[in-house]
Chain A
Amino acid sequence: MHEMGLALEIIDIATASIPADLKGARVQRVNLTVGKLSAVVPDSLRFCFQVASRETPLEGASLNIEEVPVVARCLQCGNEWTIEEPVFRCPACDSPRIQVVSGRELDIRSIELEEKEGD
C-alpha cells in the first residue's frame, strides 16, 4: 500500500549511489532483496517504480527483486527452518522462543549502470 513511497526511496538511494565521475549515467537495473515478511507486493512496487522513475536517471530501469523466505532459528534447540505457514514455534521442540533470521529484508543490493559510449 505504501509501494509508491518505497519506489521514491529506491530512486533517491539509487540516484545518490551513482558515482560522481559517472554523473549522467543511466541506471539499467536495480537489484533488490525483499523478504517475504515485509509489507511489499513486488508487482505493485514494479509498477510504482516504473511511474516514479520517469525523468530520472532510472527511467526505463528494471527492478530485479530477489524474494527471501522467512527463516527462523530456535533459541532453545538451535533448529533452523523455513517458515511456510504463519506458525512461529519450533517444529522440532515446540519452543516459542524463536528468532526470525531472514524475511524482513527490504534492501537495495546494487545498481547496474549502462555502459557509456566510448567507455
Chain B
Amino acid sequence: MPFSLFYTPMRRHHDHGRPHHHPHPADEHPDHETIRSGGGREIKVVRRVLDANDRMAEANRRLFAAHHIFVLNVMSSPGSGKTTVLMRTLEALMPELRCAVIVGDICSTLDADRLSVSGAPVVQVNTDEFGGDCHLAAHVIERASAELPLDDLDVLIVENVGNLVCPAEFDIGEDRRVVILSTTEGEEKPIKYPLMFRLCQATLLNKIDLLPYLDYDRQLAVDNIRQIHPDMAIFELSAKTGEGFAPWLAWLREAISAKQSA
C-alpha cells in the first residue's frame, strides 16, 4: 500500500505501474502565462491533477440531483463485509425506497450476483478494463449510471473497490461516504488510513458477532476513529445477525430524506 500520512521516501524505483486506459476528458484552455526561468521557459499551469475527475464528479452530482437520487459511496478494505452489509441494508430500504447498486471490483461478477438477489438493479464494473484500477473514478460512475433507470430511483449505492487508500481520493459525485471496518481487521486501521477516515461521515464497525472470539478492543477502535475524525457517526453492527442495524438505517434514512426534500 503506497499511502501513509507520514510517508518517508525509502523505496527507489521499485513500484511498478500497470498500463491503464481510461478516457481523459479533453483539457480546455488552461490559463497560462510564460515566464522566463534559468535556461528554459516556465509556463504557469496551476491545475489540480484530479481536475478532470472532480469536474466529472460535479457533473454526476448535478445529474443525480436532477433525478432526486441520493448517492452513497461505500468503501472498505477487501473482506470487511461490504456486500453483506449492503444486502441487509437493501432488504430494509426496499421496496419503500427504489434502490440500485453499482459495484466495483477488479474482476468477477460475484458481488453483483449476490446483490441482484435483492431485486435492485445492479451494475457491475470490472476495473480490469481500466487497467485494474484500485478505485471507481467519476467517469466510471457516469458510464455505469447510464445503464440505470434514473427516473425510477431514489437511492444509488456504490460499492467501491475494496481498498482503504485510493477510493478516498476520488470524488464520484456522492452525497455521503461510509467506511466499513470489521472487527477482524484490528483497531488500528483509522490511524493507518487517515484520509479515508477523515473524509467519511460514518463508520460501520462490522462483524461484532465475532467479538467473543477475538482479542478486539472496541473502545480502542472507536477512540482511534475519533482521533482522526471526532464527529464521525459510528455504528457497531453485524451484517450476519442484523444486530445494530437500526441506528445505521435511521441515519441513512435521514440522509436520504434530507436529499429528497432538498
Contacts and interface: CB of A to CB of B under 8 A. Distances in A.
B88 interface: no
A31 to B, nearest CB: 8
Nearest to A10: B49
Given A39-B2, A43-B9, A89-B227, A2 B46 contact: no
B27 interface: yes
Contacts of B229: 88
Interface string B17-46: 111101010110110101001111111111
Interface residues of B, number: 61
B113 to A, nearest CB: 26
Contact of B40 (A37, A51, A100, A112): A112
Chain A facing B: main interface SS: mixed
Main SS at interface, chain B? loop
A31 B20 CA distance: 23
A39 B45 contact: no
29 contacts: A1-B166, A2-B166, A4-B18, A6-B49, A8-B20, A9-B52, A13-B30, A13-B45, A13-B49, A17-B30, A37-B198, A41-B9, A41-B11, A41-B15, A44-B15, A46-B13, A47-B17, A52-B17, A85-B6, A86-B194, A87-B228, A88-B228, A96-B226, A108-B45, A109-B46, A111-B45, A113-B41, A113-B43, A115-B41
B163 interface: yes
Contacts of A4: 17-20, 131
Given A17-B30, A48-B17, A109 B44 contact: yes
Contacts of B78: none
Interface of B: 1-3, 5-7, 9, 11-20, 22, 24, 26-27, 29-30, 32, 34, 37-52, 131, 133-135, 137, 163, 165-166, 168-169, 191, 194-195, 198, 226-231
